[in-house]
Amino acid sequence: MKTGIAFLLLLTGAFCGCAAAGKYRERVLLLSSCDLLLQRISALLSLENLPTAQLFSRLKDMPEFSALPFVKKTADRLSASRDFPSVFHKSLQEGCGALTAEDLAVLDRLSDLVGSYDLSAQLAGIESIRALLALQSEDARSRAKRDGHLVRSLCVLGGIAAAVLAL
Amino acid sequence: MDVAYETAVRQLPPKIRELLLLFPQDKQQVVREVSMRAGKPLTLTTGEGIRFASGNGAFSAFPPPASDILTAQEIGDCLRFLTEYSLHSFEESLCRGYLTVRGGHRAGISGTGVHKDQSISHVRDVSSISLRIARQIRGVSRGLVQSLYGTGETPSVLIVGAPASGKTTVLRDLVRSLANGEAGRYVRVSVIDERGELGAALHGTAQHDLGVTSDLFDGFYKAEGMQMALRAMAPDVIAVDELGGAADAQAVRSVQNGGAAILATAHAGSIEGAYQREGIGALLREGAFDRIVLLNGADSPGTVRAVQSIGIPSARKTVFA
């Protein structure tokens, strides 16, 4: 009985450690998807010159952005309102998984950019946001490596300690 | 509520939109154009002249207080709202000085032109926007359709009139009527819409009703558009607004050699005045047109003063109903 409980506590500790570390990894993946999103926006604007509502309607259907809920929300809201800055800002404010407030603030620069300037200015602005996002990605990777390992180790050790105490 | 007025002003930013929606229906119906200028008050072009919005649902003959002056930022916001935050999609038409918005309305713009390779590459610092409210009037050409096309023939027709006499409105309705079978059969009409006024296409979709069997060539220069329509769509009729000089006249000749009839408009205050115009006059003397329709002036827009047959009507097209 005690062995079973100890084993359970050990597993719980390991699971919590992995979940906590997973959040850091998730942020890295989401930021990578966001960079891909910006590249795709640039490409679609350059090649097809799509109106903003159609642009997001196209992006919504791409499976690579299914993990970015604000893309679908923006597309759905733009079918009713064409006020892109308000719509995109609101969609971002509703959160996106492990992205931090700082990450979302960088993405929010798109709300004042897309559709508000001529094409070349928008493309230049998107590159500028990508550069900022790259800094966030770098921060996310280093945190995943440093803090992710630390959190996982602490949780596993906590599980071991709890198991020992239970025994 | 005037539907055309409402669909136009609802595309403006909230502050301006709410001011304009204060007007009762009788006031809305007389507004032809809403003009917004940076550093100046909002003005309305009505049937009675220029008026100002007084803020309580009434027109004012005098400018409002200084606090109601529009700022450059507000003009920028207007442009972004009118383009549905898709300025990049409207760059080409902005270089031509106008954009077509949802509902078929047209917004003329002025600002600072940026030159590249001796042409305007884009417009920045837009300082004025004039939103012209489009009101498609269906049925204005009902009598004309029957008298011109009701016998089964498809003549080439020139509609002339003074500015603001309703030439474009009559032309648009004739196209709609022909392409909807109101002449007793469906007529294939290719519409060459150089200035975007006939179809008012937005992202490729005509905002005005041009009928079932019409094809819209939006933004094409008249001469090239007529040639392309003839080659591509085999139309019975090619409709074109505001025929001008020699190049347009030559295009008309080659189109007619290709077997299509022309339905066109031109500026002239009288039939005699049309004969004196370069290009148009030559076409009339050559018998390129079978009928000439003269409209009444701006005081009675869209009404016909006279229809004249020019020589013997050519049996270019006879369709058995």
The Cα of A57 is separated from the nearest Cα of chain B by a number of Å equal to 14
pLDDT more than 90, % of chain B: 55
The Cα of A86 is separated from the nearest Cα of chain B by a number of Å equal to 11
Query: Least CB-CB distance to A119: which of B85, B88, B124?
Result: B88
Q: What confidence score (pLDDT) does residue B67 get?
A: 67
ipTM higher than 0.90? no
DSSP-derived pairing of the beta strands B214-218 and B189-193: parallel
Pairwise CA distance, residues B239 & B175, whole Å: 7
CB-CB under 8 Å, A122 with B89: no
CA-nearest of B318, B317, B254 to B286 is B254
pLDDT given at position B312: 53
Lookup: tokens for A127: 């590159």
Q: Determine the pLDDT at residue B173.
A: 95
Using DSSP's 3-state secondary structure scheme, residue A95 falls into coil
Q: Which H or E run contains B31? A: strand B31-37
Nearest CA in chain A to B82: A82
Q: Which of A11-15, A140-144, B137-141, B257-261 has the lowest mean pLDDT?
A: A11-15
Statement: residue B219 has pLDDT above 80: yes
Residue B96 has pLDDT above 50, yes or no: yes
**What is the chain B residue with the closest CA to A50?**
B89
Cα gap B161→B176, rounded to integer Å: 20
CA distances from A136 to A91, A93, A106, A151 (A): 20, 18, 9, 20
pTM of the model: 0.79
